[in-house]
Amino acid sequence: MSFILQNLWLIPVLPLLAAGISALLKRPNRSLAAGLAIGSMGASFLLSCMAFAATHGKHGAASRQAHNFDWFALGDTVVRLGWVLDPLTAAMVVMITFVGSLIFIFSVGYMSHDENFTRFFCFLSLFAAAMLGLIIANNLLLLFMCWELVGLASYLLIGFWFHKPSAAAAAKKAFITTRIGDVFFFLGIVWLYSETGTLLFYDSGRGCLEQDALAKMVAHTTIGGLAASSAIGLLLFCGAIGKSGQLPLHVWLPDAMEGPTPVSALIHAATMVAAGVFLVARVYPLMEMQQAGVSEPIPLTAVTWIGALTAIFGALVAVSQTDIKRILAYSTVSQLGYMMMGLGIGGVAVGMFHLLTHAFFKALLFLGSGSIIHGCHEEQDIRRMGGIQKFMPVTFATYAIGMMALSGVPLVFCGFWSKDEILHSAWHYGPSKIPFFLGLGGAFLTAFYMTRQMCFVFAGKYRGGHDAAHDDHGHSHSHGGAHSHDPHESPAVMTLPLQILAACTVLLTLVSTPLWPWLPEYLLGEAAHVDAAKLFNAGTLTLLVVSGVVVAGGIGLGWWFYGLLPAEKPDEKDPLEQQFPEQFAWSRGKFFVDELYAATFVKWNARLGELCHDLDRCVLDLLVSIVGWTTTGCAHVAKLFDEFVVNKLFDAGCGEVRRGAEAASELQGGQIHQYLRSIGVALILFVFILAVGCNK
């Protein structure tokens, strides 16, 4: 067993140790906490690179190694956990530790004024540990445990500024909404366990994702004619819906923007929300099991449709939002939809490829928005920005790269290639062409809303600053005595990560074009070759051109609406609103999903609570009085019985016991005398019965 396989557990455990130590640190130990967090992530990054090297160049089954160990004994069996090293693991841990380290470094600058700086890094490290554990887990139970722990870390970090009621509410909402999915996920795990008798993914032929177990599950038909494999696949996907903000459980993700911006970048853009996508990719052998009589694997069909609908839904909402982070949040919802769609129709490589590229450019965009918010004195409303380009040149340049990657500007940005890959497979999707058109529509809207955002933030002249005292966005900030109301560029500790991420966004392109599709092939454990034919075959080229045109259309239209005549004042009506007031209101209102849920599920839950409470009161009153009467009645009967029957037999039989019992009942005076007396009598009865029994 190779060194790295043996020590793969260190990748999550190092940040966990950092979290544990900084949990015990006192507030003033700021640099120690930050140093521990960044240091442990750096060390994990090095280990991840070794893991990557170990999987690189291996193909097929040789690219996967697992190590399992006993956790506890159960009956004659043993519950085992373990970790797995394959290209999927390696690519994810490299991405997480790399992007994570950069975000940690950025946080040093962003959170520098916060009094709970130490605690912030403790939570960040906890998150990183859980997330990395989730990736390397070779056991669905271990994966679920880490899955819940990333949920906890997300909860703690969304509610980091707990004094804000909105943050506390958003944290709770995030935890509970994702837990709705998790309950089904949990059921799926339990079901899978009972079907296959193991939760290990890979266990030299005996794991639940290996041939024997899969064949068994697909052959077992359960309720509704579903094969067990399909039912379990759907249940597991429910967990992914919650975690990855898919319809209809997407409502928590935009609210999660209440957390500090580095948290949004790390958890709610690059890593945790992608965990659902990762889960589907991890259990892909199960998801793609095709039951007899159905043309497509049922779980994957669900994944495709939910993904496609989410992709277009998120984009539609993002078009009209005014909070810089919420636009990005809905964009994340939409992009996660793309990833799901990619998994559903194109397979692991397509979905995971977009996950990896998205992690880079979305982290870049979120950190960029953090830099803008920081520079604009905690302003998050894009209508109060404008003309920031000249105050924050570095942020502008890097943000523009992120924006182009997200919009899918052709050729030099990795986002274009990964999104194109999804559209490409959608075009060849047999059952329906609708996902393709939904995806294409989403691509158009993405280009449009990102252009709108760019124009609002960077074009025109600065519209904030008139009432800069307005600070309802959290942590107290003081910029020293000379308080300038103009935006300012962020310090190097914040801009450096931006530049590195921007560089990666471009460099990743080199390994992701169809010319040399190294990254997608690596994810499949296959070798990539330079193959010009792949790029120049007619289908690929046509699609490249089509998506290029769509993106150009989106950007052009955005520019025409927002760039030509930049807004002058913050309270101007949105140009789109003037054109389409009704549709705009739906989009601005996020299609009123939150309101719908508040009027239904939230209300029903409260009603049920009241109902159960009232039921208890009635039951209590009723039953207590019945029991009271019965007991008193029994006591009277017992008394008579005592006097006329028991006494005589008893005196002859076992007087000692009776004296003892009487002494005991003397002890228990007061209100409950009668109840205890009945117990005493019953005791005597019991002895009597035994005595009769023994004397036979």
Partner 1 sequence: MNGLPLISILTFLPLVGAALVFGVDRERRQLARGLTLAANILALALVAALWVNTNPGEGGMQFTERHVWIPSLGIEYHVGLDGLGLVMLMLAALVIPMAVLASEKINDNVPLYCGLFLFLQGGLFGAFTALNFFHWFLFWELSLIPAFFLIKLWGTKALGPAVEAKFAWLGWGAGKAYLVLFIGALLGFAVKVPLWPFHTWLPLTYSEAPTPVSMALTGVMSKLGVYGFVRLLLPIFPEPMHALLTPLLWLAVATIVLSTFAAFAQRDLKRILAYSSINHLGYCLLGVFAAASATGTALDRTAALNGVVLQMFNHGITASLLFCFVAFLEDRSNGARGLEDFGGLRKVAPVFCGLMGIALFSSLGLPGLNGFIGEFLIFKGVFPLVPWAAVLALPGLLVTAIFILTVIQKVWCGPLNEKWARLPDLTYNEGAVVFPATLLMFVLGVWPQFIIAVINPTVAHWVRQLPF
How far apart (Å, rounded) are the C-alpha atoms in residues 422 and 413?
15
Q: What angle do CA 431, 435, 436 make, to 5 degrees?
A: 100
- Asked whether position 683 contacts partner 1 by CB under 8 A, the answer is yes
Reference 266, options 394, 473, 128; nearest CA is 128
Residue from 62, 532, 585, 615 touching partner 1 (CB under 8 A): that is 615
Whether the CB-CB separation of 555 and 538 falls below 8 Å is answered with: no
Is residue 626 within 8 Å of residue 356, measured between CB atoms? no
Q: 43 or 657, CB closer to partner 1?
A: 657
Buried b (16+ CB within 10 A) or exposed e, 298-330: bbbbbbbbbbbbbbbbbbbbbbbbbbbbbbbbb
Using CB under 8 A, which residues numbered 83 to 102 contact partner 1?
none
Q: Quick one: 70 or 572, whose CB is closer to partner 1?
A: 70
- Per CB under 8 A, 645 contacts partner 1: no
* Residues 482 and 352: beta-carbon distance below 8 Å: no
Q: Which stretch binds partner 1 (CB under 8 A): 383-391, 460-468, 488-496, 686-694?
A: 686-694
Residue 634 is a binding residue for partner 1 (CB under 8 A): yes
Give me the least distance between CB of 11 and partner 1, in Å please. 17
Q: Which is nearer to partner 1, 29 or 432 (CB)?
A: 29
Of these, 53, 507, 549, 620, which contacts partner 1 (CB under 8 A)?
A: 620
What distance in Å separates the CA atoms of residue 150 and residue 267, rounded to the nearest whole number?
9
Q: Rounded to the nearest whole angstrom, what is the least distance from the CB of residue 312 to partner 1 in the complex?
A: 29
> Closer CB to partner 1, residue 532 or residue 611?
611
Segment interacting with partner 1 (CB under 8 A) among 71-79, 257-265, 276-284, 505-513:
71-79
The SS3 assignment for 294 reads coil
Interface with partner 1, residue 217, by CB under 8 A: no
Distance between CA atoms of 105 and 110, rounded to whole angstroms? Answer: 9
Give the interface segment with partner 1, choosing from 57-65, 269-277, 321-329, 680-688 (CB under 8 A).
Answer: 680-688
Window contacting partner 1 (CB under 8 A); options: 91-99, 399-407, 501-509, 688-696? 688-696
Q: Give, in degrees to the nearest 5, the angle at Cα 189 between 188 and 190.
A: 95
Kindly state whether residue 476 participates in binding partner 1, applying the rule CB under 8 A: no
Q: Binder to partner 1 among 127, 186, 252, 366 (CB under 8 A)?
A: 186
Binding mask 569-608 for partner 1 (x = CB under 8 A): ------------------------------------xx-x
Partners of 323 in the β-ladder: 381
Chain residues 515-574 in contact with partner 1, contact rule CB under 8 A: none
Cα gap 191→619, rounded to integer Å: 36
Amino acid at 479: H
Residues 112-171 that bind partner 1 (CB under 8 A): 141, 144-146, 148-149, 152, 155, 159, 162-165, 167-169, 171
Q: Is 628 in the site for partner 1 (CB under 8 A)?
A: yes
Structure-token pair, residue 205? 């032929």
> Which of 519, 524, 396 has its CA nearest to residue 457?
396
**Binding flag, residue 183, partner 1 (CB under 8 A):** yes
C-beta closer to partner 1: residue 64 or 80: 80
To the nearest whole angstrom, how small is the minimum distance from the Cβ of residue 577 to partner 1? 34
- CB atoms inside a 10 Å sphere around CB 90: 26
Q: Decide whether 46 or 615 has the Cβ nearer to partner 1.
A: 615
Q: Considering only 182-190, 352-360, 370-378, 414-422, which stretch makes contact with partner 1 by CB under 8 A?
A: 182-190
Scan for tokens 């150009």, then name that residue: 552
Q: Running DSSP on this structure, what letter comes out for residue 139?
A: B
Q: Quick one: tokens of 428?
A: 């060849």
